[in-house]
Structure formats: structure tokens, C-alpha cells
């Protein structure tokens, strides 16, 4: 009987130790781990102006970069930027190389199924850069004239999915500077660049001021109003809750608007498009 009692006690002790260990594991959230280290690792491409790029002084700046620095400041953690290509943005989260990822990512049902995404920190609308001489042959508001045209962009973006849905031929680039896209449209290697209208317009206006003869322009057509969010792991919601609170606070106090206006030539992109006019929406849920 005494031996049986000892064995039972040992078994009970082992069970309690296992339970305590399990409680410690589950008790430490993803945010707890970040806060303990004091570092928030943020994946970003560093080549997309005006959201993430190196300025003339070789300093990493941009709408998303400045936003994340302010987020880190308010959460009392140091922000460490991890340079990645578009296709590595999600695998960086999966591998733990980054805690969150920013790259003008649209909030979509497919993405939110696999990852947590923050509340919108920026709103956009689809636009396109075409040749100024009209030889791109694209001008219809319903996008019906995209079929057979060569669309330039990063593989997997929502804009390239729209192009695929409309029957365009996709020409994919990986982590190249914006002027490469423009030159390829101008010289006829591609026909148009589907992307975020506000950013494109600002960039085209700047490039035309430097090179007035550059054969590109912004088309008048707009489509697919969008919402951009920060991408995070779905292991738990602790990081998302922290990020969402700060983003909402920055919207309320006007600090996010100020950052937007500083990088988008006075444009406030913290408010959605499409409320005052009809903008076509192309469904890409069936596009891989």
C-alpha cells in the first residue's frame, strides 16, 4: 500500500508539473515575447516609394516606415526593419524572421483566412500608367480593353490579379525600382502598370517634371477601391490588438494623416475612396 501511495504521489506530481509547464507556454502571448525582447521585427521591401525606400541620405523612410516607427514608439519597443521581396513577405512571418509585414498589402478574405491583418491604415484605388502617345490602347472605364495587353507588376498583387481576370498578359518583376517599370512601358516592352492610383500619379508627375518627354501618363480610369493593412501571424491575436489600438489612435489624433500628407503631396489617404463617384469593382476571388 505504501509503495502504491508513493507511485500515485509521483504520478500526481508529474501531472502538476506538466500542467504548470503547459500553462506557462499558453500564458506567454506573441506580444509578450516581442515585449520581452523589446524589438518588433517588420518585413518591408525598401524599394517602393513613397511607402518604403531609401532617401538621398541613405535613410529608410516612407509612409509605412514612419508609421511603424511611431507605432513602435507608442508601444515602447524598438522597430527593426527586415528587408524582403514581395514573395518573401509572408514566408518571413511563417518562419519567424519577422513579426509583421508591410508592403501596401490589400486586406482580402484570402489573406485574413491565413493571417491576421490590422485595421486599415491607408486606403487606395486602382489606377494604371500607360503610354502618353496612346499606343497602349487602354482607356475604357470598364477595363474591357485590357485583354491581350501586357501588364507589368509584382507577382501576386491584387492589381495583377485584376489584370489576369481581365485577360491581360502578366509581366512579373521582383523587387525592382519604379523607374524600371516606367521605362518598360515607355519603350513598349509592356503596355501598362496596374497599381495604386495615388502613388502612381505622384510618381508619374515627378518623373515627368524631370523628363518631360518620357512617354508615360496616368490613365483617367479608376477601379477596385482598396484598404491596406499590416500582416501578422495568426498564432494569436495579441499583436493585432496592440497594433489596431495604436493605428486607431493615430487616425483620431491626426498623426497618421500628417504622415500621409507628407509622403503623398498633400493627399490624405486615411479616408476611403469611392464615396462620391461610381468606381467599378472587379472580383478576383477566383484568381490564383
Residues 85-96: tens digit of each pLDDT: 877 889 999 999
> Mean pLDDT throughout 205-220?
94
Instruction: Identify which of 230, 232, 239 has the alpha carbon closest to the alpha carbon of residue 28.
Output: 239
> Mean pLDDT throughout 233-257?
97
Q: What is the CATH number of the domain that holds 202?
A: 3.40.190.10
Looking at per-residue confidence, does 160 or 27 come out higher? Answer: 160
Q: How many domains does the chain have?
A: 2
Percent of the chain with pLDDT over 70: 90
Q: What pLDDT is stored for residue 215 in this prediction?
A: 97
Q: Identify the band that residue 17 occupies on the pLDDT scale cut at 50, 70 and 90.
A: very low
User: Is 53's pLDDT higher than 90?
Assistant: yes
Lowest pLDDT segment from 24-28, 86-90, 216-220: 24-28
Instruction: Identify which of 232, 208, 226, 222 has the alpha carbon closest to the alpha carbon of residue 102.
Output: 232
User: Is 59's pLDDT higher than 90?
Assistant: yes
- Domain co-membership, 184 together with 248: no
Give the span between the Cα atoms of 116 and 237, in whole angstroms: 7
- Domain co-membership, 115 together with 243: yes
Whole-number average pLDDT of the chain: 89
Structural domain that includes position 56 = 30-121+229-264
- Domain co-membership, 146 together with 84: no
- Domain co-membership, 77 together with 115: yes
Residue 25 lies in a domain: no
Helix (H) or strand (E) holding 214: none
- Domain co-membership, 167 together with 196: yes
- Domain co-membership, 111 together with 169: no
> Mean pLDDT throughout 263-277?
85
* Grid cell for residue 103: 508592403
What single string gives the DSSP state of each residue in 26-90? Answer: HHS-HHHHHHHHTEEEEEE-SEETTTEEE-TTS-EESHHHHHHHHHHHHHT-EEEEEE--GGGHH
8-state DSSP, 118: P
Q: What pLDDT is stored for residue 276 in this prediction?
A: 64
> Mean pLDDT throughout 226-252?
97
Report the sign of the C-alpha dihedral through residues 184, 188, 192, 197, in that order: positive
Residue 32 CA to chain centroid, in angstroms? 24
User: Is 226's pLDDT higher than 80?
Assistant: yes
> Mean pLDDT throughout 81-86?
91
Give the span between the Cα atoms of 169 and 247, in whole angstroms: 37
* Grid cell for residue 243: 497594433
Rounded to 10 degrees, the C-alpha dihedral 169/122/41/88 comes to: -10
User: Is 21's pLDDT higher than 80?
Assistant: no
Q: Identify the band that residue 26 occupies on the pLDDT scale cut at 50, 70 and 90.
A: low
Give the span between the Cα atoms of 127 and 184, in whole angstroms: 17
Q: Most confidently modeled of 85-89, 269-273, 277-281? A: 269-273
Residues 104-157: tens digit of each pLDDT: 898 988 899 999 999 999 999 999 999 999 999 999 999 999 999 999 998 888
Instruction: Identify which of 102, 141, 273 has the alpha carbon closest to the alpha carbon of residue 219.
Output: 141
Give the span between the Cα atoms of 126 and 124, in whole angstroms: 7
Lowest pLDDT segment from 74-78, 172-176, 183-187, 236-240: 172-176
User: Is 163's pLDDT higher than 90?
Assistant: yes
- From first CA to last CA, the distance across the chain in angstroms is 67
- Domain co-membership, 152 together with 75: no
Whether 125 and 197 have beta carbons less than 8 Å apart is answered as yes
Q: What pLDDT is stored for residue 7 in this prediction?
A: 38
Q: Identify the band that residue 33 occupies on the pLDDT scale cut at 50, 70 and 90.
A: very high
- Domain co-membership, 111 together with 241: yes
- Domain co-membership, 106 together with 135: no
CB count within 10 Å of CB 111 equals 16
Q: Identify the band that residue 174 occupies on the pLDDT scale cut at 50, 70 and 90.
A: confident
Residue 287 lies in a domain: no
* Grid cell for residue 98: 519577422
Percent of the chain with pLDDT over 90: 73
Give the span between the Cα atoms of 144 and 197, in whole angstroms: 19
Residue 59 lies in a domain: yes
Residues 112-127: tens digit of each pLDDT: 999 999 999 999 999 9
β-bridge mates for residue 143, sequence order: none
Quickly list H helices, the chain: 2-27, 30-37, 63-75, 89-95, 109-114, 158-165, 178-186, 197-210, 238-253, 255-263
Whole-model pTM: value is: 0.71
Amino acid at each position: 500500500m505504501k509503495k502504491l501511495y508513493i507511485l500515485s504521489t509521483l504520478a500526481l506530481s508529474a501531472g502538476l508539473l506538466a500542467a504548470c509547464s503547459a500553462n506557462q507556454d499558453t500564458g506567454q502571448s506573441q506580444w509578450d515575447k516581442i515585449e520581452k525582447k523589446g524589438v518588433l521585427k517588420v518585413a518591408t521591401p525598401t524599394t517602393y516609394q513613397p511607402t518604403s525606400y531609401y532617401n538621398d541620405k541613405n535613410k529608410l523612410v516612407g509612409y509605412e516606415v514612419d508609421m511603424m516607427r511611431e507605432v513602435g514608439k507608442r508601444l515602447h519597443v524598438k522597430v527593426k526593419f527586415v528587408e524582403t521581396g514581395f514573395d518573401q513577405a509572408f514566408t518571413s512571418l511563417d518562419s519567424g524572421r519577422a513579426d509583421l509585414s508591410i508592403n501596401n498589402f490589400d486586406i482580402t478574405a484570402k489573406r485574413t483566412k491565413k493571417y491576421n491583418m490590422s485595421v486599415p491604415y491607408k486606403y487606395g484605388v486602382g489606377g494604371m500608367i500607360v503610354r502618353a502617345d496612346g499606343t497602349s490602347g487602354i482607356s475604357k472605364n470598364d477595363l474591357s480593353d485590357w485583354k491581350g495587353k501586357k501588364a507589368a507588376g509584382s507577382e501576386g498583387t491584387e492589381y495583377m490579379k485584376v489584370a489576369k481576370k481581365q485577360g491581360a498578359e502578366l509581366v512579373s518583376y521582383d523587387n525592382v525600382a519604379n523607374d524600371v517599370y516606367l521605362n518598360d512601358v515607355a519603350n513598349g516592352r509592356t503596355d501598362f502598370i496596374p497599381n495604386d492610383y495615388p502613388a502612381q500619379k505622384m510618381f508619374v508627375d515627378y518623373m515627368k517634371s524631370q523628363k518631360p518627354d518620357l512617354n508615360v501618363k496616368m490613365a483617367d480610369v479608376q477601379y477596385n477601391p482598396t484598404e491596406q493593412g499590416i500582416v501578422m501571424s495568426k498564432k494569436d491575436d495579441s499583436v493585432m490588438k496592440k497594433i489596431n489600438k495604436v493605428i486607431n489612435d493615430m487616425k483620431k489624433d491626426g498623426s497618421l494623416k500628417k504622415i500621409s500628407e507628407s509622403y503623398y503631396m498633400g493627399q490624405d489617404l486615411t479616408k476611403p475612396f469611392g464615396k462620391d463617384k461610381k468606381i467599378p469593382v472587379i472580383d478576383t476571388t477566383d484568381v490564383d
